[in-house]
Amino acid sequence: MVREFFGDRRDNHAPAVAIATIAGTIRQFLRSGDGSLMPIVVMMMMSLLLAVGFSVDYTSAVTTRSNMQSALDAAILSITTMETTTSKADRQTALQQAYEANSGQGTVTLNTVDVAADGTTAFSATAAYPMPTTFMGIARIKSVPIGVASSVRKTPALVQSTFKVSKVSGYWNKTMYLYGTQFAQTNAQSLMKIDYTYNNYKYTYKSGSTNYSVGEPKGYGTTTVYTVNGSTETKVQEQVCSTTGSTSAFSNPPSGSIPGSTKDSRTNKTIYFNTACSNTFYPANGSGAVIDVSQMNQLYLQMKVPSGNPQTLQSNDATTSNRLYMGVSQTDMPEVATGQTVDIFSAVPCGQTSYQAWEDGGNAVPAPVSNADFFYTVQGKCAFNQRPSETVMTQ
């Protein structure tokens, strides 16, 4: 019934058509010969005319306010990604431009910009617009003031991560990478590379008149850590592991060395091994691979094992991420659940050490962390970051 009387609301001329219809009806009654009803009818129709006009302006105001709120929300979110050194005046200019770009009407005011020492930031803004009326002018109401407000809070997040190799073993050569995708980019770039080369140590002993060779059961080698910037690789850590074998147990192994043993079924002899790993950092007082991730919107780890199955393992791949272990100590590292992916930004704690390891594909998973081959630590530094995903609307 409403649509039949006033016309389709999608037609911009519908309110005018409705008013014209009512006015025409009034004129018909004025020309009517029945004067006794004329005053009553005129009063009723004038009231209806005012009601329709006011409802048209009210609907327009509601729509305008909704559009202003959406534009202000989008605008205030956009300025939270600006550097903390940006002046309030520059933020105000950017806020107004973003507001207008999102079809907001009126003037925007940036009220507060708070940046805490730990990187927590808070912003609040308002927008005001005196919306001109169409029909309420009959009652001397030329405009209706419309105001909206918006506030956001941005929590500190990972801006730097430091990787340091603990120990790497296995008979397969392998390489681990850290990849990151910058803001507004689609292609990931390499930020770190860790190469492992198996040394293929074998202990040779004589039983009777025959010589036998036995390899250390876990296999240790040389691991080199690089930071990557475009095509430039910078060595920051090298770990060299050397192994010694014996037909008798080692009585006083060096502190920190890795013991091992295996039984040679050919001679029924137990062969004992002792592995010592030495670390060299570049520079000498370095702490490993320090990676700036403040400009990264996405991060993921990749393990390439040419002789493995599968050959490529990734933290953001639900089919292979279950070969990654993460925890609070070298022995307390739960395996990532099958079918899940890992958000590196959440996996690396702020100001604390995270212990991680990879099973390179030589064993089926799930399996205890003791089966893993690639052990390292990660420590994160958190501060203000430019990732929009860390921003929460509070008003």
Quote the DSSP letter at residue 251: S
Q: Are 148 and 271 in contact (CB under 8 A)?
A: no
CA 189/CA 283 separation, integer angstroms: 24
Residue 280's H or E segment, with its range, is strand 269-281
- Over the stretch 301-340, which tens digit does the pLDDT of each residue have? 999 999 988 999 999 999 999 999 999 998 899 999 999 9
Q: Is residue 292 very low, low, confident or very high in pLDDT (cuts 50, 70, 90)?
A: very high
CA 254/CA 332 separation, integer angstroms: 25
Quote the DSSP letter at residue 220: B
Mean pLDDT over the full length of the chain? 86
Which is nearest to 368 in space by CA: 325, 338, 329, 339? 325
CA 125/CA 31 separation, integer angstroms: 57
The token duo for 356 is 């991680």
- Over the stretch 357-386, which tens digit does the pLDDT of each residue have? 999 888 888 889 988 999 999 999 998 887
Quote the DSSP letter at residue 383: E
Given this model, what pLDDT does residue 122 score? 92
Residues 6+ apart with CB under 8 A from 69: 148, 150
Residue 42 has pLDDT above 70, yes or no: no
Report, as an integer, the average pLDDT of 109-132: 91
Residue 230 has pLDDT above 80, yes or no: yes
Neighbours of 321 (CB within 10 A): 21
Residue 79's H or E segment, with its range, is helix 38-79
Higher local confidence (pLDDT), 261 or 22: 261
Report, as an integer, the average pLDDT of 101-112: 94
Which is nearest to 275 in space by CA: 288, 261, 286? 261
Residue 124 has pLDDT above 50, yes or no: yes
Angle at the Cα of 33 (from 28 to 34), degrees rounded to 5? Answer: 100
Given this model, what pLDDT does residue 43 score? 61
Given this model, what pLDDT does residue 155 score? 86
Given this model, what pLDDT does residue 28 score? 61
Q: Over pLDDT 90: what percentage of the chain?
A: 61
Q: Is residue 112 very low, low, confident or very high in pLDDT (cuts 50, 70, 90)?
A: very high
Given this model, what pLDDT does residue 255 score? 85
Torsion angle, alpha carbons of 290, 294, 296, 300, to 10: 40
Higher local confidence (pLDDT), 112 or 24: 112
Ranges 34-38, 77-81, 383-387, most confident: 77-81
